A and B are shown apart, each in its own frame.
Chain A
Amino acid sequence: MTSHPLIRMLDRGSTLFLVLLGAFAIAIPVLNLLVPATSSLHVSTYLVALLGKYICYGLLALSIDLIWGYVGILSLGHGAFFALGGYAMGMYLMRQIGTRGVYADPILPDFMVFLNWKELPFFWYGFQNFGYAMFMVLFVPGLLAFVFGWFAFRSRVTGVYLSIITQALTYALLLGFFRNNFGFGGNNGLTDFKDILGFNIQADTTRNALLVISCLALGLCFLICRAIVTSKFGKVLVAIRDAEARTRFMGYRVESYKLFVFTVSACMAGVAGALYVPQVGIINPSEFAPANSIEAVIWVAVGGRGTLIGPVLGAFVVNYTKTFFTTGLLAPYWLFVLGGLFIGTTLFLPRGIVGAWAHWRAGVKEKSEAKRSAEAEDGMLPTRGSPSTQPGAAE
């Protein structure tokens, strides 16, 4: 009986995913650090940083999938939680620069000296401590999500209204963080980081370590999400997604369920942001741009929402395509591709890659079963057009 939930949690797809993720986390550093640069198998440090970035995007997509795929909350402002986590990490990294900054002030980051500030604002206190900074990475996005969700869900703001309001939230933060007197570096954001926990942030070993840590975080968050969605709690979430009013009438406190998952999801997005910042070396207000949040949603849609594996895959596929397009001569066409992805996915691939594959597999299995037992004629395939036919986890 004790092994039962574990088995349910780790079905074949999930195990495969975790194994692949583990192999990835081992293979990339090995290929980067141990294989000589002349070998064709060598992975460049640039690629390590790029892949690390993708992993963080994958984690962000996973956090969106948890609320969109399983509770039906489409947040167009998840980039805000990502960026807040990133800023918390950025503040720690800024404090680590110390006297190596341009103005060599032991306490104040360069931009504050530049703005002629005399002392550290209170909200920067404590960020020299790594543990405190990591706590804030979880706490700030979590708190914002809790307060926002508490207001929004309690008054039953749902559907597109909620989406628009989350977009307004991240837009308001964007405007705020652009201001110099907000105390977060204004337009330029936080950058020029030197080390993290005493390790040089530019070093190959640090980059590989960050990649491995990102993979670990992704795997851990994946397990948390699996635990949530396969539990009884998760079944209630799906019930809320498919028929909110009915679930409420059955006696479930819908808003509490939503609030919990929304907050967990925001914390995950914050972790993704915190891991993202040391790998790209900068955090600035443009991360709050509503367009970024919507782009993250399309990763989930492409990969397949309600599948947990799909979003990570989607983040990799879309971002690889983006890198491919935007670094070459094809750059002007990238927005056509992205726009086409939005339209094409919603029209032709509403279940995403993973969902479509699982659906196809189920169809094949069903057909072969139907051949064997002549009685099963129809009724098993979900009908097209009904909004409640979500792909569901591939189990």
Chain B
Amino acid sequence: MPGVVINMRGLFDRIRIFLRILLPSAVLFVAAVANAVAGPYEDALPGLTTDSYSDTAAALDQVSGSGSDLAAPLLQALKDQRLQFSAVEKKVLIKTADGKLLDAATGQPFAGTPPADLSNVRLNNRLRNLLDAALGSLTLMAADPNKRYDAAQSVFKSRDAATMPVLEKALAAEQNARVKAALMQAKAAIVVVTADAPAADKVAAIAVLRDRGDQDAMALLQTIPANAPPDVLAAVTEAKANIERNLALWGTVQNLWYGLSLGSVLLLAAIGLAITFGVMGVINMAHGEMVMLGAYTTFVVQEVIRTRYPGLFDYSLTIALPLAFVVAGAVGIAIERSVIRFLYGRPLETLLATWGISLVLQQAVRAAFGPTNKEVGNPSWMSGAFDLGGILITYNRLWIIVFTGIVFAALLGMLRFTRLGLEMRAVTQNRSMAAAVGIRTARIDALTFGLGSGIAGIAGVALSQIDNVSPNLGQGYIIDSFMVVVFGGVGNLWGTLVGALTLGIANKFLEPFAGAVLGKIAVLVFIILFIQKRPRGMFALKGRAIEA
């Protein structure tokens, strides 16, 4: 008997859709027809007036299956706690956002005096879930394809057999291939969990799930009991193997993506360090603090924009980038002129002095901005994410990779094509020879240090988007940056690139096996062993001047 009812209902709905397509302006007329017939929607309404959860649930079910145009507003009102009832007059009323009352049965403004015993239809958690599923199935028919897609996904998750008729209906009407596939999957999900569905349907449904090929599909296939018909079980086994292969592939892609993302962050943080180390032979322990200064510059820029020019928020990073470069670069040049230039030829002492500078800078920022994390917002074009195959790609990571690429290319071009770049390369290769042919090495040192620090500053702008902005920001990256430089070798930017990406990807591939911490230890141990083999890194400069 229930099947017959459903079919009847489906037939009725199909007529209504037909009418709606033919007569888009005649909605009221159709509603009037529906009223005249007193369809399941109207029958359901009294169930809402008894103030009993189970009656409400039954009514909800009926309303969502009715296909009436009034169903969606009613359910939405119920969800927003705007649906009121009167037990005495057996009336259900919708209170609009501006306080007016509508008759739920007709959708027309309610005329006459409101009943005295009007109160909200109450909800519990089970009802809320039902309501969400019902609303989801109703939006399967929405005009916006994205909404329909989301609705199909939510049906896939809920696997509520009650939505089957609506689903069938939506599937028949669907034109968009992407949404159609999602609807097919939703339907397959329901078929797979329905115990009494025919075996042939199940096999077809399993094939659909296999093509979906993700963790959710896998979870669904796990629910099929072992006593299912043999052809179903065979399909399940095949589908599972297929999905597992698929998942492994996407897992690898995902690790690569995360590794690339981590690697580009490392590259941004390390590249300035590599330049200063290459040209001047000094390790700048305050490099991480330059990154921190860049991040705090972003914070200040955003604060100013927030209070003065809120409309410019999307441009905050564009404004912060040159500022961070200038701020960090200026601090870098100041450090070089006031401390480091007195320590040339004493690299170990430079290391200690710059460590001292890093402590002072950290404490200064702590004193100025407080020790707590500062909130730096993502502009709209950096927030959000999209799916690419089986992995989720967030925009901020994507932009950072793009940005790193741009910085790297710009730096490479600068080193190759500008006079400063030429002189920097000359000093890197042989300082005394460069000085002998007339390069002012002291000036190159100062500019190099400024450039390296400036790049650290813009790295800080990027890191402010994915990490906490605190006085300790730089400390978290400094050891990893050193490892990149040691691993990649100095004097060649490609070494830094390969070093950063290798370490980033190696870290991410080790994490699933060894856990984050052990993975990191493994990478550190690997580097310690690696530099036994190549004490000057992968891309070492050759020549006599290096040993000195």
Chain A interfacial positions (CB closer than 8 Å to B): 68, 72, 74, 76, 148, 151-152, 154-157, 159-161, 163-165, 167-169, 171-172, 175-176, 178-179, 245, 290, 294, 297-298, 301, 332-333, 335-336, 338-343, 345-347, 350, 385-387
> Once the chains are docked, how many angstroms separate the CA of A168 from the CA of B359?
19
Give the Cβ gap from B528 to chain A, nearest Cβ, in Å.
6
- A contact face: mostly helix, strand, loop, or mixed: helix
- Contact partners of B277 in chain A: CB under 8 A: 160
Given A298-B352, A339-B358, A342-B355, also A172-B521 (CB < 8 A): yes
Q: Which residues of A contact B343 (CB under 8 A)?
A: 346-347
* Interchain CB contact under 8 A, A343 and B528: no
Per-position 1/0 for B347-363, Cβ under 8 A of A: 11111110111111011
| 25 contacting pairs across A/B (C-beta < 8 A) | A148-B528, A155-B532, A155-B535, A160-B283, A160-B347, A160-B348, A165-B531, A168-B527, A169-B528, A172-B520, A176-B518, A179-B517, A294-B352, A297-B352, A301-B349, A332-B363, A332-B367, A335-B362, A336-B360, A342-B356, A342-B359, A343-B360, A346-B356, A347-B343, A385-B345
Q: How far is the CA of A171 from the CA of B486 in the complex (A)?
A: 15
Flag if A152 contacts B367 (CB, 8 Å).
no
Q: A168-B483, A171-B524, A340-B356 are in contact. Are A335 and B363 (CB under 8 A)?
A: yes
Is residue B143 contacting chain A, with contact meaning CB distance below 8 A?
no
Asked if B525 is an interface residue, CB under 8 A from chain A, the answer is yes
> Taking A155-B535, A164-B283 as contacts, is the C-beta distance between A343 and B356 under 8 angstroms?
yes
Beta-carbon nearest neighbor of B345 in chain A: A387
* Cα–Cα, bound, A74→B347 (Å): 10
Smallest CB separation, A320 vs chain B (Å) = 19
With most chain B CB atoms within 10 A of its CB, the pick from A76, A245, A294, A346 is: A346
Q: Which residue of B lies closest to A338 (CB)?
A: B359
- B298 shortest CB reach to chain A, Å: 24
* A176 and B521 contact, Cβ closer than 8 Å, known pairs A151-B528, A155-B531, A164-B283: yes
Cβ contacts under 8 Å, B386 to chain A: none
By size class, the interface of chain B is 35 or more
On whether the beta carbons of B535 and A347 are closer than 8 Å, the reply is no
Q: A74–B353 contact, CB under 8 A? A: no
CB-CB < 8 A to B346: which residues of A? 346, 350, 387
Give min CB distance, A306 to chain B, whole Å: 13
Which residue of the partner chain, among A152, A168, A176, A301, contacts B482 with CB atoms under 8 Å?
A: A168
**Which residues of chain B have C-beta atoms less than 8 A from A340's C-beta?**
356, 360
Q: Which residues of A contact B355 (CB under 8 A)?
A: 294, 342
Q: Does B533 reach chain A (CB closer than 8 Å)?
A: yes
Is B339's CB within 8 Å of the partner chain A?
Answer: yes
Distance in angstroms between the alpha carbons of A332 and B370 in the assembled complex: 11
Q: Complex: how many Å from CA A167 to CA B483?
A: 10
A179–B514 Cα distance when bound, in Å, is 12
Which residue in B358, B362, B535 is a CB contact (below 8 Å) of A156?
B535
Residues of A within 8 Å of B360, CB to CB, are 335-336, 339-340, 343
Q: Which residues of A contact B339 (CB under 8 A)?
A: 343, 347
Residues of A within 8 A of B173 (CB): none
Distance between B335 CB and nearest chain A CB, rounded to angstroms: 10
- How far is it, in angstroms, between the C-alpha of A154 and the C-alpha of B532 when the chains are bound? 8
Residue interface bits B331-346, CB-to-A below 8 A is 1, else 0: 0000000010011011
The residue that A290 contacts in the complex, of B345, B479, B486, with Cβ under 8 A, is B479
B525 touches A172 (CB 8 A): yes
Q: Is B117 an interface residue (CB 8 A)?
A: no
Residues of A within 8 Å of B483, CB to CB, are 168
Contact A339 B359, CB 8 Å, known A155-B531, A155-B533, A290-B479: yes
